[in-house]
Amino acid sequence: MPTLGRAHRPRVAITLGSGLGGLAALVQDAVQTSACDIPGYPIPMAAGHAGQVIVGTLAERAVVVLQGRAHLYEGHTAARATFPLRFAHHLGAHSVVITCSAGGLGLAPGSLMFITDHMRAGPGPGLGLRGCPAPYDGAWMRRAQQAAIKHEIDTVRGTIVWVQGPSYETQAEIRYFMEHGAQAVGMSTIPEVLEAKRLGMKVLGLALITNAAAGLSPEPLAHQEVLDCARRMRVVLGRLLPEIVRNAPG
**pLDDT tens figures, 105-134:** 989 888 999 999 998 876 555 554 445 678
Please name which of 120, 135, 139 lies closest in space to residue 200, comparing C-alpha atoms. 135
Do residues 115 and 158 touch, judged by C-beta distance below 8 A? yes
> Rounded to two decimals, what is the model's pTM?
0.88
Do residues 123 and 150 touch, judged by C-beta distance below 8 A? no
**Dihedral class, residue 234 (left if φ above 0, else alpha if ψ from -120 to 50, else beta):** alpha
DSSP 145: H
Q: How far is CA 55 from CA 23, 40, 60, 88, in A?
A: 13, 18, 13, 10
Is there a cis peptide before residue 166, judged by omega within 30 degrees of 0? yes
Residues facing residue 96 across a β-bridge? 13, 203
Q: How far is CA 71 from CA 28, 49, 84, 159, in A?
A: 28, 10, 12, 20
Query: Which range is least confidently modeled, 4-18, 79-93, 201-215?
Result: 4-18
Integer Cα distance of 15 and 160 in angstroms: 17
Please name which of 249, 127, 145 lies closest in space to residue 198, comparing C-alpha atoms. 127
Q: Which band of pLDDT confidence, cut at 50, 70 and 90, is reported for residue 54? A: very high
Chain segment 76-93, per-residue pLDDT in tens: 888 888 999 999 999 999
Domains and CATH numbers, the chain: 6-246 (3.40.50.1580)
Alpha helices in the chain (DSSP H): 78-81, 83-91, 138-150, 171-179, 190-198, 223-232, 234-246
Integer Cα distance of 48 and 225 in angstroms: 12
Chain segment 152-188, per-residue pLDDT in tens: 999 999 999 998 877 778 888 889 999 999 999 998 8
Integer Cα distance of 89 and 214 in angstroms: 36
Q: Rounded mean pLDDT of 133-151?
A: 94
